[in-house]
């Protein structure tokens, strides 16, 4: 094993793997260093109970940029995005909303609850798609540096102004409403039923410490609509073997392109010499050399831990210090003896081929958020559930089931307690809620895994367990992700770059940060 490389990537999450793969593809001798015994970071799959594959953290795929699939030739390494053809939303009164692949069938299903909403659903989707389509070019490029006086950067800034001014006024206005308003404000314009409002609003709170009526939840809603699985905006897929299956594909692709991956290699710090990165030191003291070092960790770790913040400009340190993380999401995953029973659909299981959305109204979600505002987990949580063995049968032994439950809200900071104390109590709350929806649920449980924000932080390294490596708040996006002046993947230290979810465009299994960072690095190298 050599200790000299052209580039070293710290962190083998999906962004680190993608970044390393692109650098290797460009011919750089690239090393990816991962602290844990497996790559993937927040996107891993583990057999926690014999025969049952758990997606411990991240569980579905939508935002992944299609360019990455092609450029890294992921299909030849096992990329397989399985379709999730249903969304199942139990209501509070034992009824449900079951959305599938047929537009007209969906129309009639929604009309069962409200004819008005059935029509509005198409209008809403069209509005969202148009907004997403309009800003896609901005999301899919490296944003200008708003602090720069460089004429080129100024010109790019002006170009964004003209681009927006050229949008149809209606689209521009909808965009601003989404960027600044609450999810509820927008959804109430379209939908009158609790179930439609609740279902749609859930995309506005995922991963974020906002309620559906908070300003800012519109942005979270918009961000999630940005996914485009097989060219359907907002559509999700389940990768074969879970998101861990996906990051294994990435690892194979990176290695095939010549990158080297070392597991169980925690980096202690970036070695610098005269404001230049020259390598990294591992916790065991090993020193590895490279003129390019890329941090795939979140901004806190990138700027405050891997380097000495005293080497950095004060305002950057200040900005990184005040970044909001405040994770509020947890996971409770189960191995089950069989699929659970939903009484109104007794005997059927085909409603479980996608997400199960337990968040039946705006009020329900907002009340769940209320608990979190005051430092406690929701007594009746929002649950984004999926029984993945119905989509990828190999996730569980024949006839049995594995179930992922993404849970909100579970604030990182608990009032007068801590997560080591509350872990199983949270699991109980979630299980009790599932028991309400699926009577007899608890009798099916073979194994339960509770993942609190503290566990996310400890295991993956995401500060305060924030699933996106930094909240999706307007002052932390685009020009400002992770900090004004540092949104182009560079850092004040020459040769030291950032490529994690804390950079533009942001979190989710998206890969754009890793890809753009590699482009920036390669441009800088060719300019040098």
Partner 1 sequence: MIRHTPFHPRTSEANQTGLWSHWSGYLAADRYQMADKFEYFAIRNSAGVFDTSPLYKYRFTGRDAERYLAGVLTRDIRKCRPGQAQYTVWCDDEGWVLEDGVVLRLSGDEFLLTAARPNLAYFSDLAAGYSVSVDDVSEEYGALAVQGPVSREVLAELAPEIGSLGFFRLGPAKIGKIPVTVSRTGYTGDLGYEIWVDADRAVEVWDRLFEVAQPRGVIPVGQTALLIARIEAGLVLIDVDFHSARYAWNDDQRVTPIELGMGWMLRRLDEDDRAFIGRRAIEREIEEKSSRWKTVGVVVDWQDWARTHNDRGLITPKDHTPQHGSMMLYDGDLAQVGYVPSFVFSPLLQRHIGIARVRPDHAAGGTRLGLEVNIDHRYAVVDSEVSPLPFFDPERKTA
Residues near ligand FAD (CB under 6 A): 10-16, 33-36, 41-43, 57-60, 63, 266-267, 296-297, 329, 331, 406, 456, 460-462, 467-469, 500-501, 507-509
Q: What is the 3-state secondary structure (H, E, C) of 294-320?
A: EECCCHHHHHHHCCCHHHCCHHHHHHH
| Among 233, 325, 334, 516, interactor with partner 1 by CB under 8 A | 233
Nearer of residues 166 and 527 to partner 1, judged by Cβ: 166
Spell out, one character per residue from 113 to 132, where the chain touches partner 1: x when CB under 8 A holds, - when not: ----------------x---
| Helices 362-373, 194-202: inter-axial angle, 10-degree rounding | 50
Pairing of strands 30-33, 260-262: parallel
Nearer of residues 30 and 86 to partner 1, judged by Cβ: 86
Query: What span, in angstroms and rounded, lies between the C-alpha atoms of 379 and 302?
Result: 35
Count of chain residues binding partner 1 (CB under 8 A): 31
Nearer of residues 58 and 491 to ligand FAD, judged by Cβ: 58
How far does CA 202 lie from the centroid of its chain? Answer: 14
Helix (H) or strand (E) holding 19, with range, is helix 14-25
Nearer of residues 45 and 501 to ligand FAD, judged by Cβ: 501
Task: Say whether residue 231 binds partner 1 (CB under 8 A).
Answer: yes
For 406, the token pair is 């993404």
Task: Say whether residue 230 binds partner 1 (CB under 8 A).
Answer: yes
Three-class secondary structure of residue 382 per DSSP: strand
Residue 329 · residue 465 · CB < 8 Å:
yes
| Among 398, 526, 527, 528, interactor with partner 1 by CB under 8 A | 398
Among all chains, which residue has been given the structure tokens 């599932």? 434
Alpha helices in 140-193 (DSSP H): 151-166, 169-180, 183-190
CB of 75 to partner 1, least distance (A): 5
Contacts of 522 (CB under 8 A, 6+ apart): 22, 23, 26
Cα dihedral 71, 75, 76, 80 sign: positive
CB of 30 to partner 1, least distance (A): 24
Task: Say whether residue 417 binds partner 1 (CB under 8 A).
Answer: no
Task: Say whether residue 405 binds partner 1 (CB under 8 A).
Answer: no
Q: Which does 66 bind (CB under 5 to 8 A by kind): partner 1, ligand FAD, none?
A: partner 1
CB of 394 to partner 1, least distance (A): 8
Q: Which of 137, 138, 164, 136 is nearest to 226 (CA)?
A: 136
Nearer of residues 135 and 270 to ligand FAD, judged by Cβ: 270
DSSP β-bridge partners for residue 385: 356, 405
| Among 38, 48, 69, 142, interactor with partner 1 by CB under 8 A | 69
- Cα radius of gyration (the chain): 22
Spell out, one character per residue from 74 to 113, where the chain touches partner 1: x when CB under 8 A holds, - when not: -x---xxxxx-xx-------------xxx--x--------
DSSP β-bridge partners for residue 279: 271, 289
CB of 310 to ligand FAD, least distance (A): 19
Counting every residue, how long is the chain? Answer: 528
Query: What span, in angstroms and rounded, lies between the C-alpha atoms of 23 and 258?
Result: 9
Q: Which does 231 bind (CB under 5 to 8 A by kind): partner 1, ligand FAD, none?
A: partner 1
Task: Say whether residue 151 binds partner 1 (CB under 8 A).
Answer: no
Task: Say whether residue 47 binds partner 1 (CB under 8 A).
Answer: no
Residue 210 · residue 408 · CB < 8 Å:
no
Q: Which does 13 bind (CB under 5 to 8 A by kind): ligand FAD, partner 1, none?
A: ligand FAD
Among all chains, which residue has been given the structure tokens 């300003």? 215
CB of 67 to ligand FAD, least distance (A): 16
CB of 232 to partner 1, least distance (A): 8
DSSP β-bridge partners for residue 452: none
CB of 393 to partner 1, least distance (A): 3
Alpha helices in 418-475 (DSSP H): 419-437, 441-444, 453-460
Nearer of residues 8 and 74 to partner 1, judged by Cβ: 74
Residues that bind partner 1 (CB under 8 A): 66, 69-70, 75, 79-83, 85-86, 100-102, 105, 129, 133, 228, 230-231, 233, 240, 350, 353, 389-390, 392-394, 398-399
């Amino acid at each position: 094993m050599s200790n000299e490389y052209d580039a070293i990537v710290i962190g083998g999450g999906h962004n680190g793997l993608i970044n390393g793969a692109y650098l290797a593809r460009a011919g750089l001798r690239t090393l990816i260093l991962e602290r844990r015994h497996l790559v993937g970071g927040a996107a891993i799959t583990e057999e926690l109970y014999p025969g049952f594959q758990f997606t411990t953290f991240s569980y579905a795929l939508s935002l992944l940029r299609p360019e990455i699939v092609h450029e890294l030739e992921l299909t030849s390494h096992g990329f397989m995005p399985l379709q999730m053809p249903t969304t199942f939303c139990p209501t509070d009164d034992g009824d449900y909303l079951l959305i599938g692949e047929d537009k007209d069938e969906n129309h009639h299903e929604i009309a069962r609850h409200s004819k008005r909403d059935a029509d509005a659903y198409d209008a809403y989707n069209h509005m969202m798609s148009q907004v997403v389509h309009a800003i896609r070019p901005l999301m899919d490029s490296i944003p200008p540096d708003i602090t720069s006086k460089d004429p080129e950067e100024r010109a790019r800034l002006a170009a964004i102004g003209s681009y927006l001014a050229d949008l149809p006024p209606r689209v521009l206005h909808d965009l601003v409403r989404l960027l600044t308003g609450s999810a509820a404000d927008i959804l109430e314009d379209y939908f009158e039923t609790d179930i439609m409002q609740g279902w749609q609003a859930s995309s506005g709170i995922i991963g974020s410490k906002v309620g559906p009526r908070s300003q800012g939840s519109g942005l979270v809603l918009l961000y999630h609509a940005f996914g485009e699985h097989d060219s359907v905006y907002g559509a999700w897929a389940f990768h074969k073997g879970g998101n861990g299956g996906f990051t294994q594909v990435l690892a194979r692709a990176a290695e095939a392109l010549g990158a080297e991956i070392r597991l169980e290699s925690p980096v202690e710090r970036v070695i610098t010499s005269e404001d230049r990165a020259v390598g990294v030191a591992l916790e065991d003291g090993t020193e590895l050399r490279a003129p390019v070092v890329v941090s795939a960790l979140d901004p806190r770790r990138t700027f405050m831990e891997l380097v000495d913040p005293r080497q950095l400009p004060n305002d950057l340190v200040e900005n990184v210090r005040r970044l909001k993380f405040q994770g509020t999401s947890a996971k409770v995953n189960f191995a089950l003896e069989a699929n659970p029973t939903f009484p109104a659909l007794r005997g059927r299981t085909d409603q479980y081929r996608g997400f199960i959305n337990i968040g039946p109204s705006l009020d329900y979600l907002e009340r769940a958020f209320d608990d979190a505002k005051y430092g406690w987990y929701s007594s009746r949580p929002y649950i984004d559930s999926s029984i993945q063995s119905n989509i990828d049968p190999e996730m569980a032994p024949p006839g049995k089931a594995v179930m992922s439950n993404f849970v909100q809200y579970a604030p990182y900071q608990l009032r007068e307690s801590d997560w080591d104390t509350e872990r199983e109590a949270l699991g109980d709350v979630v299980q009790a809620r599932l028991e309400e929806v699926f009577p007899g649920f608890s009798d099916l449980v073979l194994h339960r895994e509770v993942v609190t924000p503290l566990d996310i932080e400890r295991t993956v390294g995401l500060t305060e367990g924030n699933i996106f490596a930094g909240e999706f708040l307007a002052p932390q996006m685009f020009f400002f992700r992770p900090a004004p002046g540092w949104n182009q993947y560079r850092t004040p230290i020459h040769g030291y770059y950032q490529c994690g979810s804390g950079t533009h465009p942001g979190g989710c299994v998206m890969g754009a940060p890793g890809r753009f960072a590699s482009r920036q690095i390669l441009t800088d190298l060719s300019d040098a």
